[in-house]
Structure 1
């Protein structure tokens, strides 16, 4: 694939993910991680996804600032930072084929749990926030996808949807930063498959695309239901997860 084609697909994934995240609270990790892992390799693709969530979480956070529950954030964020370290270690020791399978499996199973478990038992104790933060940080580092974990936590804690979706933005920003720091420290950055794509293009292009996506979503927020945006994000994530599993399985079989 040409450089322009690769960049176009990356930009499209980031744009769609940002729009869905602004509309529903989740979307960037769900949509971007599977796409970037297929284009750039699982380790580097998830790293770029983590970097994208830092930018998207920061910019969207300012748009929803008044609804953020900072007390909940201060419980979840430190636990997520801790969970990033075992995730970074796992990424550093797994071959790329198995890492692709792990990424896709986490995405698909997490989505299945989110969709099928409609009514969950109530768990409002602060320990629930700590557990959700740790697992979310681990999942975010290994697969770039923490949204299903946080959705499950919101259901068991009976978290108000508006405050939940707003608080997710600084949480995602912190998870992304923790994942990047842990991976750079552990040395689990990996090499990306599209070596002809200059990294500086990603550094400049992704934030610009996020800004455009937020602008589009702001215009759509009155017309697109949150439920529709969330269903679309999960559908795209499921397709990407299956593709990642398929790619990883093929790589494992061909190198065995």
Structure 2
């Protein structure tokens, strides 16, 4: 425990007061000495009170600054879309992408790392597609509830076994199965992303067909050109075979 130091200013003030008293008062008189002593006590208490108040104010300011410095920063609130289910999907998606990045940093195998990067890229595009068009959210429920968390579970298992530092039938066999499965998962994620644009592709095909029909009806398209039959030697002679007896 640190001992508090008394302020020196009150003592200096009393000393200065006695010096002035020695110059202007007859200190050989008991009355003058008693008067100066009383005034010195009052000056001491006054100056000491001022010093204590200043130190208290400074200490309070310092404490407030320390508390402000120690106060943790409040996490930034994610902007809401007004759709709780969509907000949850976006939040879970960000957590999944963050976990994939962590696993990619931990796992040294270049093939597995490349698969994780691809999974991360496709997953991010899936989340972006749903963010742009919330009507697609029902299409990724199975992806969010099973495929994505199961993929992260497989990768975490692979990460733990890789960090075990030993080789064995169980560890090596499991790692090999995960490596093979990752190729299938990458293709599945890519198909999930492609499926999100199925309705868009159908709409575009319909629009193109309708436009082609209207353009042709209005005569705004070029008629298809058909090639004339090639005639050799510049003749029009045709050979026709007839049955006998005609």
TM-score tier by shorter-chain length is under 0.3
**Higher helix share goes to which structure?**
1
TM-score, structure 1 length as denominator?
0.24
TM-score, structure 2 length as denominator?
0.25
- More relative contact order, 1 or 2 (CA 8 Å, 6+ apart): 1
